[in-house]
Structure 1
């Protein structure tokens, strides 16, 4: 009888422990999800987060609050992410190649690539080279010929340092055999007005900005293997004789130490959004190309791209 009573008490304690365990507790609860955007309002990361915000709230059953942590080409936000509580309620948009390049090149970017735990990769945007509507450069060759005659005189703006735009400018210089001057801005939301205002000669930006501001800029070429459906009249660099393909991939990440169960829940939510026809139509109309890579696929992709960018950085003299 005594043994039976002790067993009953132990079983009750075990059940109470399991029910109260944070592993088995409902996730998410009514606590809001903090979604960190590492670039300016109006840029690709912001546009994506805002498009995801309400659908994510519906899928996850809790509020999603977008917060901006701007600076360092995204490094300020990613530094905050890796030092956040891994409770599943802090996420951030991540960008490739940015989170690979910065730790490779900078002494102390505030984070390491492997500390950013990927949840999902959901979209990409190839680079484009654009000039103001009233620019003297009507074609890519005109800009290149001018740059050859006046090395460094062509000033190309872009989003961030050691980013897809920054590296893309260096790759373009290499492919075209020219020297230009790169000016980093804190995001596309700041870079595009600088181009339109005539503060830079050209802009290395993304297809999404080309789509949104097509009436304010002249797009000379797109850095993709094939023409982009959102900009069907824009030739690729390859078409024009320059072997240059580059762009950015974006996704959602969590702090290191976040449980696999919570990562899977967030990944499933992202996949559900990307498979929704209405959401697909909205993103594609904005110039984004949808991508579907879960946590494991993204980690493999990051590992593969790290090897590629390490070699590329050596070729352009940054490593």
Structure 2
């Protein structure tokens, strides 16, 4: 598992050179005007929410406005395929997600390759969570596993699209437990949750954030974190239940290829400073997110590690 401790040393080394916003602005002249932050999904989803958590802190550090704009399409692929056609000057940045940017090009032609995405920082992950409606007969994860094992394919579990973190989680879940569920893709995690609450599907291959938002309308059976989630203290981790699964949707920030190296480093440092802010950490934790520090220098190793981790599931998804 990649966490704050693993990647903290590089972050601290970079942050130490950026003791004041004026120093940031002085180097390479960046930023001297507003920054556009592109979210490749609809407003209100996890990517949009966390960008808006970041926004005021980024503005305070840089002294410039950060304008958030949504450009949804094809589970993020539409925007990611256009990333490198944008001006490479550091004034347009884009939200990215792993495993999406690994799974999508591995499964079909989506107009970009994983290596085309120039990430400068991954700042959190949204942990996987298995949840059902509060009146579901499944009281525990084992109840759900037993039913899905005895009735292969009968249990429908919704998630955010195909070739996404939720889709991957459903494959990993089957591998770990032997349970056979039918994954139902929706256009986002929120629509999938609506279907769970409406009883159209049996449960959700979802995120801790959706569980926090839904509150007592759902029963969360397990979360994919190393330790229990502060916002869901009564929910066991997969590892507590005997299943070695820690993961979810890792969200980061990327810039177009050709963006000056100094600007990439400064942007990485800005996001690291935001991550270090106690108020930002509080907001993220209360909403069910897990803050991680994966700065520019560590991004290649992170992507390589994730590609290796996802490879077996990708083969099964192709099959």
| TM-score normalised to structure 2 length | 0.86
Query: Which is higher, the Rg of structure 1 or of structure 2?
Result: 1
> Cα RMSD between the aligned structures?
1.9
Tell me the residue number matched to 1:207.
Answer: 208
Instruction: Tell whether 2:33 aligns with 1:69.
Output: no
Q: Aligned equivalents of 1:274 and 1:248: distance in 2?
A: 17
Which of the numbers 43, 46, 50 marks the counterpart of 2:45? 43
Provide the residue aligned with 2:4 in structure 1. Answer: none
Aligned equivalents of 1:25, 1:302: Cα separation in 2? 28
* CA–CA separation in structure 2 for the residues paired with 1:262 and 1:242: 42
Query: Which of 27, 30, 37 lines up with 1:27 in the alignment?
Result: 30
- Residue 93 of structure 2, aligned match among 88, 91, 96: 91
Distance 2:59 2:68 in 1: 12
Q: Counterparts of 1:125 and 1:250 in 2: how far apart (Å)?
A: 8
Task: Answer with 114-123 or 304-313: which moved more.
Answer: 304-313
Q: Which residue of 2 aligns with 1:301?
A: 302
SS state of the match for residue 62, structure 1?
Answer: coil
The separation in 2 between residues aligned to 1:275 and 1:225, in whole angstroms, is 20
Secondary structure of 1:179's aligned partner: coil
CA contact (8 A) 1:86 1:254 kept: yes
Match of 1:4 in 2: none
Per-residue Cα deviation, 1:249-308 (whole angstroms, up to 9, x for no partner): 111111111111111121111111111111111111111111111112012110121122
Q: 2-side partners of 1:303 and 1:241: how far apart?
A: 27
Give the Å deviation of 1:61: 2.0
Q: Is the Cα–Cα contact under 8 Å of residues 83 and 255 in structure 2 kept in the other structure? A: yes
| Alignment check: 8 A CA contact 2:171 2:313 kept | no
Q: Name the counterpart of 1:188.
A: 189
Cα deviation, residue 156, structure 1 = 0.8
Partner of 1:139: 140
User: C-alpha distance in 2, partners of 1:146/1:167?
Assistant: 21
Residue correspondences, number: 294
Confirm or deny that 1:256 pairs with 2:257: yes
Is the Cα–Cα contact under 8 Å of residues 125 and 247 in structure 2 kept in the other structure? no
Pairwise mapping of residues 258-277 of structure 1 onto structure 2 (< 5 A)?
Answer: 258-277=259-278
Q: Which secondary structure does the structure 2 equivalent of 1:74 belong to?
A: helix
| Match of residue 61 from structure 2 | 59
More off after superposition, 236-245 vs 203-212: 236-245
Q: 1:40, 1:68 within 8 Å by CA — same for their partners in 2?
A: yes
Structure 1 residues 221-300: aligned runs within 5 Å: 221-300=222-301
Q: Distance in 2 between matches of 1:223 and 1:280?
A: 19
The answer on whether the counterparts of 2:28 and 2:263 sit within 8 Å (CA) in structure 1 is no
Q: Is the 8 A contact 2:40 2:78 kept in 1?
A: yes
Alignment of 1:149-188 (within 5 A): 149-188=150-189
Determine the C-alpha separation between the residues in 1 that align with 2:168 and 2:113: 19
What residue number does 1:310 align with? 311
| Cα distance, 1:182 vs structure 2 | 1.0
Give the superposition deviation at 1:52: 1.1
Q: Structure 1-normalised TM-score?
A: 0.86
How far the C-alpha of 1:24 sits from its partner, in A, is 7.5
Structure 2 residue runs without a partner (length 5+): 1-25
